[in-house]
Amino acid sequence: MNYLISQGRIILEHVIAGVKRCRIVKDVFRNTREGDDDLVMEIACGLHNHRAKHRYT
């Protein structure tokens, strides 16, 4: 069971690392407007998904 959990954890850690390629996600976000932090995370996740989708094409 631990083997299966660790396999899922590795995949998740790689996804998080891929999203953190955008420096704005790693650093302290100082913009105080409501909802901007969520927007930045959505954009970073979208960029990661686009990069992953077109990785080997």
Beta-carbon neighbour count of residue 48 at 10 Å?
Answer: 19
**pTM here?**
0.76
Q: Which residue type occupies 45?
A: C
Instruction: State pLDDT tens for residues 19-51.
Output: 999 999 888 888 888 889 899 999 999 999 999
pLDDT at position 2 is 94
Q: For the residues 10-18, what does the mean pLDDT come to?
A: 93
pLDDT at position 16 is 93
CA angle 32, 40, 31 (to 5 degrees): 15
pLDDT score of 15 more than 90:
yes
pLDDT at position 56 is 83
